[in-house]
Structure 1
């Protein structure tokens, strides 16, 4: 009689693979441990629907347990990133919904941002063309952003009679581009060009539209080749330290770094340095 290992039971409940995942409402592929999400309704500039919001939220939650995905790229098909919530599939139905269902919707969209921030893999947004409303939020919630000169970033909520405080925008956007610049975009709903977004720090760099996706995937591959467990710790601390004092942050980072020092990747890096070779990280 074979007695199952307790560790195997632990792994079964906390590890999964997603390379063979079949997305229903967007494109999904995994190559060399880099997952690519493609918002693929190009005829309408890739808007989100109730269904795609929910599927994205659930997928990012599952990514916390994926062993075969180390980094993620999100982009849009057809020369645009995402035009936000679909006017016909989302905005029109919302007008007729009572408050409990409205709150159900706004919590669902916020949960997508929470799932993106809490999944350990770095997320690279490849932003070309229109990046508006909830699409701007998806880019904002990513860890790194590559744009193009023709990127058009707009937080459009005030244009439809809503507040700019949507899906964490008032908390996250000021930390990326500064309070005054964030206030301008959130109050006015105006579009920021690619050059402006780059100058303000929203985009890490601008790329040629023809190479944007390849550039984003190469960045993701470079990250996937690094110490991915440690990358997950870095992402967690970047998120967690927003609400900490400096003393609390320093102590938390001391604990986090001690955890990383116990990994095999730390040992691999030392041995490679001693042997004057390049370390091969395995994420453990």
Structure 2
């Protein structure tokens, strides 16, 4: 059975990770607790359209309620991740829009980043080839990123006469690679090489293109086998503590950890340790 995703689709009630969801320009597969989203427009290096922005936003928001999905991998088809907003299907029409219409669009693109960061599952990017513009922001919104020698990541908004401040770039990128490096990339729009990304902390590791997806999915499965309620807490705290003082963060973590100590996974870990066995976590 196939479900077609649209902005009005009430997915809270009907999301089934085992189903084959087909959207305009991405596909979904699910196995062993890991869901894989594949941007699937390889002939154009997987650009985004108005429809695919909204579909991806809605899909990630729906994943908040998909308790069977323990980890998520985002990748692209055809040897590239994402070339950003489609020049003819997005950039051209934007030049004719009114200010309220433009603001509606820019808020929607930012909502995609917020949706990726709001879902409790770890999101891992398997990023090969071109990763540009909005594609670079999708990569940045992931919790972990893995690339290849061929990966070129460019926040190229200034190349089309726009500010580098797009979809949260000026907040997220400096926290990832540092203010000076982020400033260079956002002012110039130049591509960051894979090795720069690895050295600067943007990428967690690099793999051969042929091995990229399998390795990232294996990492995702290892996370899916872990204490997934606690993983969700870790993701929440990593986000929330940006705006806290050290004192506030320590108190927030004390409360978060006390909550995790009430889970069955915490009890299972202790009992397995006492029995000299490996714990089998269930996410509750």
TM-score range, shorter chain: over 0.9
User: CA deviation digits over 1:149-183, x for unaligned, max 9?
Assistant: 11001000000000001000000111110111000
The DSSP-based 3-state class of the residue aligned with 2:162 is coil
Contact 1:109/1:167 (<8 A) preserved:
yes
Cα distance in 2 for residues equivalent to 1:22 and 1:150? 29
Q: Tell me if structure 2 keeps the 8 A contact 1:146–1:207.
A: yes
Query: Is the CA contact 1:126–1:147 (under 8 Å) kept in the aligned structure 2?
Result: yes
CA distance, structure 2, for counterparts of residue 87 and residue 16 of structure 1: 32
Whether 1:23 and 2:22 are equivalent positions in the alignment is yes
Number of aligned pairs?
272
Q: Which residue of 1 aligns with 2:109?
A: 109
Match of 2:80 in 1: 80
Please identify runs of 4+ aligned residues in structure 1 that moved more than 2 A: 13-19
Indicate yes or no: 2:170 matched with 1:179.
no
SS of 1:165's equivalent in the other structure is: coil
CA RMSD of aligned residues (A): 1.1
Distance 2:63 2:197 in 1: 29
Q: Distance in 1 between matches of 2:278 and 2:76?
A: 35
Write the mapping of 1:32-47 to structure 2, written as runs, cut at 5 A. 32-47=32-47
Aligned to 1:272: 272
Please report how far the alpha carbon of residue 14 of structure 1 lies from its aligned counterpart in structure 2 after TM superposition. Answer: 8.2
Residue aligning to 1:164: 164
Structure 1 equivalent of residue 226 of structure 2: 226
**Residue in 1 aligned with 2:57?**
57
1:17 positional shift: 3.5
TM-score by length of 1: 0.94
Q: Which runs of 5+ in 2 are unaligned?
A: 1-11
- The answer as to whether partners of 1:133 and 1:155 remain within 8 angstroms in 2 is yes
Q: Structure 2-normalised TM-score?
A: 0.94
